[in-house]
Amino acid sequence: MKTIFITGTSSGIGKETVKFLSKKDFRVIATARNLESIKEFESLPNVVIMPLDLTDTKQIKEISSKVIKEYDIDILFNNAGYGIKAPLELTPEEDIRKNFETVVIGNMLLTQEFIPHFKKRKSGLILTTTSLAGIIALPLDGVYGAAKHALTSMCESIYYELKPFDVKVKIIIPGATQTAFKMNPFCIDGYEKANENQQDFLRDGKSEGADVSESVETIWEAITDNKDKIHYPSDKVALKLYNQYMEMGIEKYKEFFYKKMFL
């Protein structure tokens, strides 16, 4: 039985992944800041729940040490996140810091704790949920996107560091997905139409984002395909937009995207 350690399981992609993997003969270590939010997992087979706040360095070390001693972890799934949507000039300092402390520093510190374990066993997978905003810079995502870009860069960097030890590093790249995860909204005066256009673009003209089941299927692919591959767009629309960006390149894309958002 393989064991996966997952952060951010109280809702959305994390929650559905726990439910899915518990049916696939995986032992799942499910974590969240508030244990009450994941208490329902206690009734699922092979699921262990633990508290974890990625802004609490002491807890990161304690929980990591505990699970590595008690379980032979095969997969670390960095899934916890924090969202902000606003023009950079209107984003309060405390929210900028909270975003980076959770998304970047918290995930980096947690990953640090697991790397020696994976190197020692010469196998394993570090899987991380980033975002399409961590590939394509989007208006009103200056803080959120910057954090996700940093996380993407971290993963691509440790890919090289861990490949000699047969440890895989992969990222899941969601776009607009139907989950309870919501961006923490701030004033977007003057950008209302651009925000509306952006949401429509990310949904590819559909009324709603991709079903979370598509993300779960992509996660299953990433943890079972045994491929030497880093980027996994999480659904059909995310894949379409990802490929479009990669094929056009930044200089052509910026002109194309600006017209879509503002003209």
Q: Give the residue numbers annotated as catalytic, written as ranges.
A: 144
Residues 54 and 76 sit within 8 Å (Cβ to Cβ):
no
Question: Helix or strand or coil: residue 67?
Answer: helix
Q: Both tokens of residue 230?
A: 């880093």
Q: How far is CA 33 from CA 44, 54, 80, 204, in A?
A: 19, 8, 10, 33
Q: Tally Cβ neighbours within 10 Å of residue 258.
A: 12
Amino acid code (one letter) for 44? L
Question: Helix or strand or coil: residue 94?
Answer: helix
Long-range contacts of 148-151 (CB under 8 A, 24+ apart): 148/103, 150/100, 150/103, 150/104, 151/78, 151/103, 151/104, 151/107
Q: How far is CA 212 from CA 10, 50, 58, 199, 224, in A?
A: 14, 23, 32, 17, 19
CA–CA separation, 176 and 247 (whole Å) = 21
- With tokens 């880093």, the residue in question is 230
Q: How many CA atoms lie within 13 A of 227 on its CB side?
A: 11
- With tokens 């970047």, the residue in question is 104
